[in-house]
Amino acid sequence: MNKSGEEGDNTKAKKARKPKVVRKMTESRLANIALHYLERYSSSEQNLRQVLERRVMKAAHAHPETDIDAAKGWIDALIVRYVEVGLLNDAAYAEAKTRSGLERGEAPRVIAMKLAQKGVLKEISDTALEDLAEDFPAPELQAALTLIRKKRIGPYRTDAENRKEMREKDLAKMARAGFSYDTAKRMIDAEDIDELKSYIEKNL
């Protein structure tokens, strides 16, 4: 079959494809949606609430008779139930996200901001960061080292002239990643990797 013929068949297929039908929201359907989401993703209480509220509003748009207040009551009951059985635990969620964030090279302040966006209370996120002190005694420095290694910037640049030319851009990249100017400068201006590692070990 020639190219024009294939394009014609694809166009017909797209036209023939029916739009997805939005089903009416029920209490059991909402519970199924919540469980399916939790099977795929870790979640905070507030994040799950927002996910479910969006699904309710989508259903309400297609089915104007939807009782939104009743649906919000279902959501409240689900959140309480899942907290009681341990499917939702903001402290455990914050600990996991904090650990994975630091291992990816995220600055502690960025991790805290992301947790706040998910509705995690500040005292919970602060505790999560403090509890990781045994594994990450100098979290900002260790996360910064991970970032510059992944981005191949600062002392990880092999061309000395290029490194000098890119210094300001590298500092800006660290700042955008949430690191303080002092930390960024220490990382980017280090003579070599051994100097950085030695500095971090002294601050552990």
Question: Which tens digits make up the pLDDT trace of 150-194?
Answer: 999 999 998 989 999 999 999 999 999 999 999 999 999 999 889
Question: Which tens digits make up the pLDDT trace of 90-132?
Answer: 999 999 999 999 999 999 999 999 999 999 999 999 999 998 8
User: CA dihedral defined by 179, 181, 183, 186, rounded to 10 degrees?
Assistant: 140
Contact 91, 124 (CB under 8 A): yes
pLDDT-based confidence at 2, cuts 50/70/90?
low
Question: Which tens digits make up the pLDDT trace of 59-72?
Answer: 999 999 999 999 99
Contact 110, 178 (CB under 8 A): yes
* Residues above pLDDT 70, as percent of the chain: 90
* Per-residue model confidence (pLDDT) at position 31: 96
* Per-residue model confidence (pLDDT) at position 1: 47
Mean pLDDT to the nearest integer, 32-53: 96
Residue type, 84: E
Assigned token pair, 164: 């000098």
Residue type, 90: D
For the cut 60, the answer to whether the pLDDT of residue 9 exceeds it is no
In the numeric block, the tokens 């990643």 are attached to 177
* Per-residue model confidence (pLDDT) at position 201: 84
Domain ranges for the chain, please list them.
27-85, 90-134, 139-202
* Per-residue model confidence (pLDDT) at position 6: 52
